[in-house]
Structure 1
Amino acid sequence: MYSYMKKQLFFLIWLLVFYAGNAQSSKYIKGEVKDSVRINNADASETYASYVPSAYDESKRWPVVYVFDPSGNGQEAIKRFTAGAEEYGYVVIASNTVKNGSYQENFMKISKLLNDVNASFSVAPDRIVFAGFSGGARLATSSAVLAKNISAVIGCGASFDIGGEYMPVKNTFMYIGLIGDEDFNYIEMLDGIYYLNSRNFDSELFFFNGGHEWPNEEYISKALRTLTVKYMAKGLVTRNESLLERCFQKDFNFADELYNKGELVNSYEAFEALIENYKFFKEVDSLKDKMKEIKRSKLYKAQLSEYRRVYQAETLYREDYYSFLPGDIELADTRNLTYWSDEIEKINELEKSPKLENQKMAKRLKGLLGGLAKMYENQLIPETQAESLLFINIFYTLLTPDKNEPYLKTVQLSTLLGKYDMALYYLEELLKKGYKDVAVLDNLEGIALLRISTEYNDLLTKYNLRTRY
């Protein structure tokens, strides 16, 4: 299957070289997003959102960015690319069909998508970009590894599986990573960039303030701007002095703003990237002097030391969580929840720390634990793995005690398993939080036997809630 898909995607990219330029206006509206474009010769449900810049001209070939959202919401994802696409001249295609799931099925869908875009737009075959968020970012990198002729990947909110089947090995594409500083995949993205650099990939990583989410338009535009400059350096785009100067000024301002905000490590790396990207076009000695100034700063040294400390600590936490949580969920021994209660308390203490980097690490670790638990929960079969589901929902009550749903599900599952004392305990914990929606409790499936018990009704009475019996 791997060999077949590899050949198919290679053939697909080969087609782009020979059949580009046969545009059909029904597939786009210049300067506007077209939400649900049908793919020819495909199921009616297979659609994509398209955007072409106002200056789009069929007589020229244009770089194309294919965007993969983990939930297949191309209409929402494409909005983040339109500003940069308009300014730097990119066609953007965001699939409404490709989403988290089987890679083989997604490879087939991507094949159909590429064929349709190739037949409908004027494509520059040497400037094809795959982009994605979270699972879509992993898919974008995996697809680029298979296809070989992809020029760049823009990975947002996730990296790739180091050591996995679709791990990048040969530097056949450029890579730009974008990650929120509170995203639970933050360490994974750092490790991915370290790996790519060790393999001599042309790779960069930008950080933004936020969690596990698409970056805003400013950062997507920076990614597209960076690619535009790199394409000029490689001779894939005709050198444009006015555009280069505009790009340089924006990238300089980006690095300088980080400096002015006191983010000296990020500023240093931004100036370093500025030198690398523009050294063929401009004199950069003054930028080197700026980097020396930053590096001599006590604040820079302190921040670098702090980042390294957090990286090492968070890596250890992550290794433990990946090692222990799956086994505990499978074993479903609720006594092991004592360990997780202690771990979550440690994270809560980190979140209260006066050190900002500790606070961010705490948010990332909570996100990681929640994401891991959700991943395993989605794989469980309620009829045969109720004990594991119960474990996960009690785990959620520890991790996110402000949410009501885990308590309600714990009451349901405990009753289903005949653990009435446990069901009553978590019901009271829910009521202690001020929960008052008796209508939801009255209609909660699977707790009929609990609902008619004296203990249940006594609890409702204790918290001044209406009883049915």
Structure 2
Amino acid sequence: MLARGAWILSVMALVWAGTASAQTLPRGQVIEAVTPLGDATQTYALYLPSTYSTDRAWPILIGFHPGARGRAIVDTYRDAAEGYGFIVAGSNTSRNGSWDVSLRAANAMLQDIGQRFAVDGKRIYLTGHSGGSRVALQIALANKTIAGVIASSAGYPDGRPRSSVRFPIFATAGVADFNYIEMRTLGRALKTPHRVVIFKGGHTLPPPDVAMQAIEWLELQAMASGARTKDGSLVDQFWATQERAVADAGETAATVHLLRAMVDDFRALRDVKAIETRAAELARRNDIKRALDRERAEDDKETQALDEFARYQAGLTDDTLRVQSLHSLKRFLAELHAQATAAEESPERARARRVLRVVTMGAAEYTQDAEYSRLLQQYRLPGTSR
């Protein structure tokens, strides 16, 4: 990875330079490829709200995809961007692999967007999917002017959980996502503003309702921090939406999480004492407490399984441990595969499938260790790939 200093980008270039080049770009539709004025080797997908004009400054969401599919990023957030007045741009050149490529793409986009569009310098947001999420978080960690990150299916580039960061994080993952536990761990560690939303699905960009929720959450964070003027009717709308989610959840462990999220989200905007009291009372109920404990235990089991696998794999390179490590890996993978292919759906089966995908998706990297490569291929689930 590049040194952190290399990721300090020219974010201030996003303070609009006042050129008229945006006038030729259509509003209200996705543009597949915009070529930066200063770098013809780069392109990015773009969405300008139908109401875009240079009469005011606009928040912007800049995205990175692991396969250089900028349009996939833009399409994901298009409806939310239209509804809440965001510009959305997604790099068509940043991809998994060289960090230099992503750094160059980010710089080219920032410079070009600053020349073309009226951007609110206090509301520059980043997003990304999988490896693109790591790019977004790396940039945010190195630049003090990033207002927030939507992190989809991957966390920090160094994999190290943090208790605090300068910017709010809205994290997403599918319940079948092989990075599910990474995103859960990210949320458990953070004490600064964050939200983790798990949806029904796999290692994918968030579905439309979650993408909308992410943009609405950024709007709330902006009002709470003062980066956006408080809109009482909008606060009431978001409050009512979360109240409905709480009502739909009944009296469950999920309700506790939703109530705690309301407290965190609205503390600077509304009186949350009653919500805070209800969350505390519900969490003390024996049945809810047991359910919350089970959630934590399930997360811990998944983390422990990945740690166990890492220990066995590390032993393969030590001649004194290789035979024992290979035997342990065979047992570990066989047990995991049996759980993952069980007929009935269960938390254990879901956990085993996620772990098995993590440990076998890099099988192609072990071509020099034919025996180990064959073992990984033997237990690989269909559809497992990077």
> Normalising by structure 1, what TM-score?
0.73
Could you say if the C-alpha distance between residues 28 and 250 of structure 1 is closer, same or farther in structure 2, counting changes exceeding 3 Å? Answer: farther
1:356 to 341, 346, 352: 346
Query: Which residue of the partner structure matches residue 452 of structure 1?
Result: none
Say if 2:338 is the partner of 1:340.
Answer: no
Deviation per residue, 1:426-447 (Å, 9 max, x gap):
xxxxxxxxxxxxxxxxxxxxxx
Query: Which residue of the partner structure matches residue 235 of structure 1?
Result: 226
Could you say if the C-alpha distance between residues 244 and 26 of structure 1 is closer, same or farther in structure 2, counting changes exceeding 3 Å? Answer: same
Distance, in Å, in 2 between the alignment partners of 1:241 and 1:195 is 31
Aligned-pair CA distance for 1:170: 6.7
Deviation per residue, 1:333-371 (Å, 9 max, x gap):
799654333222322343438673212211211121123
Say if 2:119 is the partner of 1:123.
Answer: yes
Could you say if the C-alpha distance between residues 71 and 29 of structure 1 is closer, same or farther in structure 2, counting changes exceeding 3 Å? Answer: same
Query: Which residue of the partner structure matches residue 310 of structure 2?
Result: 322
SS at match of 1:399: coil
Say if 2:81 is the partner of 1:91.
Answer: no
Could you say if the C-alpha distance between residues 69 and 6 of structure 1 is closer, same or farther in structure 2, counting changes exceeding 3 Å? Answer: closer
Aligned-pair CA distance for 1:212: 1.6
Query: Which residue of the partner structure matches residue 35 of structure 1?
Result: 32
Identity of aligned residues (%): 23
Query: Which residue of the partner structure matches residue 355 of structure 2?
Result: 365
Aligned residue pair count? 382
Which residues of 2 match residues 278-293 of structure 1 at below 5 A?
Answer: 278-292=266-280
Q: Which amino acid is 2:122 matched to?
A: D
Say if 2:97 is the partner of 1:73.
Answer: no
Q: Which amino acid is 1:398 matched to?
A: Y
Aligned-pair CA distance for 1:155: 0.7
Distance, in Å, in 2 between the alignment partners of 1:64 and 1:328 is 47
Query: Which residue of the partner structure matches residue 180 of structure 1?
Result: 174
Query: Which residue of the partner structure matches residue 207 of structure 2?
Result: 216
Aligned-pair CA distance for 1:254: 3.1
Bigger helix share: 1
Could you say if the C-alpha distance between residues 255 and 348 of structure 1 is closer, same or farther in structure 2, counting changes exceeding 3 Å? Answer: farther
SS at match of 2:361: helix
SS at match of 2:31: strand
The higher-RCO structure (CA 8 Å, 6+ apart) is 2
Which residues of 2 match residues 62-461 of structure 1 at below 5 A?
Answer: 62-162=58-158, 171-197=165-191, 201-257=192-248, 259-260=249-250, 264-292=252-280, 294-325=282-313, 328=316, 338-351=327-340, 352=342, 356-374=346-364, 376-377=365-366, 385=368, 388-389=369-370, 391-400=372-381
Could you say if the C-alpha distance between residues 334 and 40 of structure 1 is closer, same or farther in structure 2, counting changes exceeding 3 Å? Answer: farther
Q: Which amino acid is 1:399 matched to?
A: R
Could you say if the C-alpha distance between residues 31 and 253 of structure 1 is closer, same or farther in structure 2, counting changes exceeding 3 Å? Answer: farther
Query: Which residue of the partner structure matches residue 5 of structure 1?
Result: 6
Aligned-pair CA distance for 1:94: 0.7
Could you say if the C-alpha distance between residues 56 and 317 of structure 1 is closer, same or farther in structure 2, counting changes exceeding 3 Å? Answer: same
Q: Which amino acid is 2:212 matched to?
A: S
Aligned-pair CA distance for 1:69: 0.8
Q: Which amino acid is 1:281 matched to?
A: L
Query: Which residue of the partner structure matches residue 429 of structure 1?
Result: none
Q: Which amino acid is 1:104 matched to?
A: D
Could you say if the C-alpha distance between residues 237 and 177 of structure 1 is closer, same or farther in structure 2, counting changes exceeding 3 Å? Answer: same
Determine if contact 1:337/1:395 at 8 Å carries over to the other structure.
Answer: no
Aligned-pair CA distance for 1:163: 7.0
Determine if contact 1:329/1:392 at 8 Å carries over to the other structure.
Answer: no
> Normalising by structure 2, what TM-score?
0.88
SS at match of 1:110: helix
Determine if contact 1:30/1:52 at 8 Å carries over to the other structure.
Answer: yes
Aligned-pair CA distance for 1:35: 0.9
Determine if contact 1:35/1:49 at 8 Å carries over to the other structure.
Answer: yes
- What is the root-mean-square deviation in Å for CA atoms of aligned residues? 3.0
Distance, in Å, in 1 between the alignment partners of 2:379 and 2:323 is 12
Distance, in Å, in 1 between the alignment partners of 2:92 and 2:323 is 41
Distance, in Å, in 1 between the alignment partners of 2:124 and 2:138 is 15
Determine if contact 1:34/1:49 at 8 Å carries over to the other structure.
Answer: yes
SS at match of 2:316: helix
Aligned-pair CA distance for 1:299: 4.1
Unaligned runs of 5+ in 1: 406-469
Distance, in Å, in 2 between the alignment partners of 1:27 and 1:142 is 33
Aligned-pair CA distance for 1:252: 2.5
Aligned-pair CA distance for 1:20: 4.7
Determine if contact 2:337/2:356 at 8 Å carries over to the other structure.
Answer: no
In terms of mean alpha carbon deviation, does 353-362 or 142-151 score higher? 353-362
Determine if contact 1:131/1:154 at 8 Å carries over to the other structure.
Answer: yes
In terms of mean alpha carbon deviation, does 275-284 or 180-189 score higher? 275-284
Determine if contact 2:134/2:154 at 8 Å carries over to the other structure.
Answer: yes
Aligned-pair CA distance for 1:6: 4.3
Q: Which amino acid is 2:101 matched to?
A: E
